[in-house]
Amino acid sequence: MHAERMERVRAAMAAQGVDVLLLSVGADLPWLTGYEAMALERLTMLVVPRDGDATLVVPRLEAPRVVERPDVFAVHPWDETDDPIGVVTALSGPAGTVAIGDRTWARFLVDLQAAAAGSPAWRKASEVTGPLRARKDPSEITALRDAAAAADRVAAQLQDGQIPLLGRTEADVSADIGRRLIDEGHRRVNFAIVATGANAASPHHEAGPTVIEPGQVVLCDFGGTWPTDSGAGYCSDITRCVALGPPPPEVAEAYAVLQAAQAASVAAATVGTACEGVDAAARSPITAAGYGERFIHRTGHGIGVEEHEDPYIVAGNATPLAAGHAFSVEPGIYTPEAWGLRLEDIVVATDAGPLALNRADHDLVVVEG
Ligand code: ZN
Ligand code: ZN
Ligand code: ZN
């Protein structure tokens, strides 16, 4: 699997005129090698010359964590008194164009640029890896499906009333949801937004000390990372809203529009449809119902080893969906100082049509407390 990915990476490097690819922290490295770099001041970097062997330069004390894959890369541990920038520069050789991982710390990039032989052009590695990572292979789709099923089980607990809400703070409920994501098999929690009442009008509200009260609608948007044998984890991401008592008519009406728009957008996500077409399928009915100005974000984002990656479901992205593209469909309607609603599923484009991975009840479920 990793050897095959390395081959595709080299082909993309050749097509784009990239001589060396450098990967450090971020999702590209675990996707390509199964190893996730620690985000520390000691440099970890995979050096992939287009026509030479790949080498993982790693701090000696972290080398025991590396699962070796000699068919894909060699391991070069460096000692505390070594100069890892020099090691990477030597392994890179003279290069005309270097692509470096988007999330590499600036301190390393600055040092690498100063040390580079000649003055290579520097590009973002995502130009090489983004389109490759966006199209999931069957093992990746299985991992995303398992992650989504686990997130669905937590959503069902929320909708069944098994997660107490009334009288608790958002932060408490957020921690509770996080524990349940782990209990259901995730390896880590990436986020658990809990926003009650007016707080939900801020799409990325941070769960805080606000106490959840009767009559409120509570927006919960959460996800974690699902472990796999490949070494890379795959993300879940789901949003459901629940109401503590019958919702006010204006909220119920807006939710009905949102739910229909979300379903229309999922249905539109067929192979060959432009990403912006999927966005439009969610946005048109919301705009037609008069809520257009209150849908203040794109419809979705790709998902995989990272929570947010290519392809982005947004106006202006004419990229046609291809089989294996995995992404969220998550329209929202937000009324400042009053309430907020969002509904989110992860969807995979397949030759047989859109495959929605999340199955938790899509209604605005009323819970007792
Ligand atoms: Zn978000
Ligand atoms: Zn989400
Ligand atoms: Zn999302």
Domain range annotation of the chain: 2-132, 135-367
Q: What is the pLDDT of residues 231-262, one digit of tens each?
A: 899 999 999 999 999 999 999 999 999 999 99
Higher-pLDDT residue of 249 and 117 is 249
Task: Please check the confidence at residue 358 and state whether its pLDDT lies above 90.
Answer: yes
Ligand 1: distance of its center to the CA of 49 in Å?
36
Distance CA 346, CA 309 (A): 13
Ligand 1: distance of its center to the CA of 342 in Å?
10
Residue 154 confidence (pLDDT): 98
The ligand whose atoms approach the alpha carbon of 307 most closely is: 3
Ligand 3: distance of its center to the CA of 137 in Å?
21
Ligand 3: distance of its center to the CA of 345 in Å?
8
Task: Please check the confidence at residue 357 and state whether its pLDDT lies above 90.
Answer: yes
The ligand whose atoms approach the alpha carbon of 328 most closely is: 3
Ligand 2: distance of its center to the CA of 234 in Å?
14
pTM higher than 0.85:
yes
Ligand 3: distance of its center to the CA of 236 in Å?
9
CATH topology (fold) of 2-132: Creatine Amidinohydrolase; Chain A, domain 1 (3.40.350)
Find the mean pLDDT for residues 200-210.
95
Query: Residue 369 — very low, low, confident or very high, per pLDDT cuts 50/70/90?
Result: confident
Residue 198 confidence (pLDDT): 97
**CATH class held by domain 135-367:** alpha beta
Ligand 2: distance of its center to the CA of 192 in Å?
9
Ligand 2: distance of its center to the CA of 262 in Å?
14
Ligand 1: distance of its center to the CA of 329 in Å?
11
